[in-house]
């Protein structure tokens, strides 16, 4: 309230004007002598300059105004009070009654001096003093009540602003995490499929370590290998930039490295295929989407086994968000086993639509082959090739649905991803 220069100037002018207005020229002291008429005017104008510090130093302002108000002990009918009440109001509104309570005895003493100065020459000075003091007390109570109300209002406003800021920051973090998940799961999966299929196609032309080598039989296959290598390199760069963007979107620093199989190198291939599903949209039918990923993964030399009940009668409905989570988890598990284990590995996908607690449970157990090939491309891949955000995003997705996802190695070549989701709230038609 007193933060602006204009409001403080108005406080100084109003207090000085009101105190000079009620002063009405009193110059006689308690001893009967008189003072110069200009002295109260100059003193009032000078003393009220402390009101410029109402917002910065409310306690100092209140102390100076209480000291100035005590002039009624010398000149009884000179009773400045406007600045005292302004300082009391500003201090209480700014600091609260508890932190300003130490100044209340001084304020009471000043008001008692004012009351005695007004009633000392009456027929009953004691009762008149108490009466005037009660009037001053009522005015003081009104000032305190107003300032306490303002203090509480400001405190509630600050709390509301802080809560709104925290809520906005939380929403921003959640939105950034959602965008990061969608980028990784959707665009990242598609680019990974392009890269790994290009690598697999180039290797199938003649297992050329470098495009242009004379081991190819004709120029056409050599040109094809060069084009595929260019596609592979472009996809690698795109993945590095995409994962850098995902890392910048996530607010919690560098995520843990992408869990793979210790001692194995990435092999060409991908669970994607030309007819692979679009993982950026909701699946129209979960089983058809999973079958497409399974076929593409098997074509790349990875054994995939479906265990459990995968019948359409018990799978989540397309509008059930759990169906999207299941497909994302299947996609990530198959992509990781192809990328980190390669041909000769296997992955078992076990689905329990309803366990004893009624939860949907998906378990992906990946096993690396004992003779996984090591290719030179694995060592040459740029930093940032594997961002490590896939399983983190899946865990967040499961948490948002009220479930849980765990991912950890259970042996030197075995990695298990387990997702458990509570019963869906989507009604069954």
| pLDDT band per the 50, 70, 90 thresholds, residue 122 | confident
Assess whether 117 and 171 both reside in one domain: no
**Lowest mean per-residue pLDDT among 191-205, 290-304, 382-396:** 382-396
* Final residue before a domain boundary, out of 91, 121, 151: 121
In 3D space, the residue among 259, 254, 255 whose CA is nearest the CA of residue 408 turns out to be: 259
Statement to judge: residues 174 and 306 lie in one domain: yes
Query: Whole-number mean pLDDT of the chain?
Result: 78
- State the pLDDT at residue 241: 66
Are 99 and 213 members of one domain? Answer: no
Structural domain contains residue 155 = no
* Whether residue 44 is found in the same domain as residue 184: no
246 falls within a domain = yes
Same domain, 195 and 113: no
Domain boundary among 105, 121, 137: 121
Residue 126 lies in a domain: no
Residue 355 covered by a domain? yes
Per residue in 305-339, pLDDT (tens digit) is 999 988 877 888 877 888 888 888 998 888 888 88
- Shared-domain flag, residues 106 and 206: no
Lowest-confidence segment of 117-126, 274-283, 400-409 by average pLDDT: 274-283
Could you tell me if residue 176 is inside a domain? yes
- Give domain status of residue 141, yes or no: no
Both 288 and 407 in one domain: the answer is: yes
Q: Give the pair of three-digit tokens for residue 276.
A: 């692979």
- Between 318 and 340, residue with greater pLDDT: 340
Cα–Cα–Cα angle for 327, 328, 334, rounded to 5 degrees: 90
Model confidence at 279: pLDDT above 70: no
pLDDT confidence tier of residue 171, bands split at 50, 70 and 90: confident
Q: Are 7 and 56 in contact (CB under 8 A)?
A: no
pLDDT score at 258: 41
Q: 394-403 burial, b if ≥16 CB within 10 A, otherwise e?
A: bbbbbeebeb
Q: Are residues 300 and 369 in the same domain?
A: yes
| DSSP three-state, residue 378 | helix
319 CB neighbour count, 10 Å cutoff: 12
pLDDT (0 to 100) of residue 342: 78
Find the domain containing 391 and state its range: 167-421
What CATH number has the domain bearing residue 283? 3.30.565.10
Tell me: do 97 and 175 sit in the same domain.
no
Helix 321-340 vs helix 189-204: crossing angle, to nearest 10: 30
Q: Are residues 106 and 197 in the same domain?
A: no
Residue 17, pLDDT above cutoff 50? yes
Please state, for a pLDDT cut of 90, what percent of the chain lies above it: 30
pLDDT at 379: 43
Whether residue 88 is predicted with pLDDT greater than 80 in this model: the reply is yes
* DSSP letters for 355-372: -TTS-EEEEEEEE--TT-
Is 142 a domain residue?
A: no
Looking at the 3D structure of the chain, how many domains does it have? 2
Q: Tens of pLDDT along 344-366?
A: 899 999 999 888 888 999 999 99
Which residue, of 63, 92, 121, is where some domain finishes? 121
Q: Are 278 and 353 in the same domain?
A: yes
The most confident of the ranges 53-67, 200-214, 239-253 is 53-67
- The string of pLDDT tens digits covering residues 369-383 is 775 544 334 444 544
If asked whether residues 286 and 201 sit together in one domain, one would say yes
**Top-confidence residue, 25 or 382:** 25
Q: Is the pLDDT of residue 429 over 70?
A: no
Within 10 A of 17 (CB to CB), how many other CB atoms are there?
A: 12
Q: How far apart are CA 54 and CA 7, in angstroms?
A: 10
In a domain, 81, yes or no: yes
Is 129 a residue whose pLDDT tops 50?
Answer: yes
Instruction: Considering only residues 426 and 172, tell me which one the structure prediction assigns the higher pLDDT.
Output: 172
Give the confidence band of 187 by pLDDT, cuts at 50, 70, 90: confident
């Amino acid at each position: 309230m007193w933060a602006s220069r204009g409001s403080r100037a108005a406080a100084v002018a109003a207090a000085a004007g009101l105190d000079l207005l009620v002063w009405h020229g009193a110059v006689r002291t308690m001893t009967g002598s008189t003072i110069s008429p200009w002295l109260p005017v100059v003193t009032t104008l000078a003393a009220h300059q402390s009101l410029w510090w109402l917002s910065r130093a409310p306690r100092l302002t209140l102390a100076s105004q209480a000291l100035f108000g005590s002039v009624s002990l010398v000149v009884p009918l000179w009773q400045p009070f406007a600045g005292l009440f302004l300082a009391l109001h500003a201090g209480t509104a700014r600091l609260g009654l508890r932190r300003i309570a130490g100044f209340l005895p001084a304020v009471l003493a000043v008001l008692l001096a004012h009351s005695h100065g007004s009633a000392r020459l009456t027929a009953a000075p004691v009762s008149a003093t108490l009466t005037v003091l009660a009037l001053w007390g009522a005015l003081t109570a009104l000032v305190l009540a107003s300032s306490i109300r303002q203090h509480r209002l400001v405190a509630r406003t600050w709390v509301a602003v802080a809560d709104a800021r925290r809520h906005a920051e939380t929403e921003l973090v959640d939105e950034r995490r959602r965008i990061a998940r969608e980028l990784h799961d959707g665009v990242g999966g598609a680019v990974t499929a392009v890269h790994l299929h290009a690598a697999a196609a180039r290797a199938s032309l003649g297992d050329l370590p470098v495009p242009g080598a004379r081991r190819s039989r004709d120029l056409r296959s050599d040109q094809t290998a060069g084009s595929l290598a260019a596609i592979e390199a472009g996809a690698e760069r795109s993945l590095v930039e995409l994962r850098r963007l995902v890392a910048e979107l996530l607010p919690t620093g560098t995520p843990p490295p992408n869990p793979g199989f210790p001692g194995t190198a990435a092999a060409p291939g991908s669970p994607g295929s030309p007819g692979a599903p679009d993982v950026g949209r909701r699946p129209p039918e979960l089983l058809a989407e999973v079958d497409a990923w399974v076929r593409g993964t098997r074509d790349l030399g990875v054994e995939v086994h479906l265990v459990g009940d995968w019948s359409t009668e018990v799978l989540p409905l397309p509008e059930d968000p759990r169906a999207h989570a299941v497909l994302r988890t299947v996609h990530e598990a198959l992509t990781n086993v192809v990328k980190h284990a390669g041909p000769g590995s296997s992955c078992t996908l076990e689905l329990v639509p309803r366990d004893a607690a009624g939860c949907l449970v998906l378990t992906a157990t990946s096993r690396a082959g004992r003779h996984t090939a090591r290719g030179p491309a694995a060592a040459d891949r740029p930093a940032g090739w594997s961002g490590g955000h896939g399983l983190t995003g899946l865990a967040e997705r499961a948490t948002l649905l009220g479930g849980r996802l765990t991912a950890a190695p259970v042996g030197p070549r075995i990695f298990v991803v387990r997702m458990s989701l509570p019963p869906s709230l989507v009604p069954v038609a």
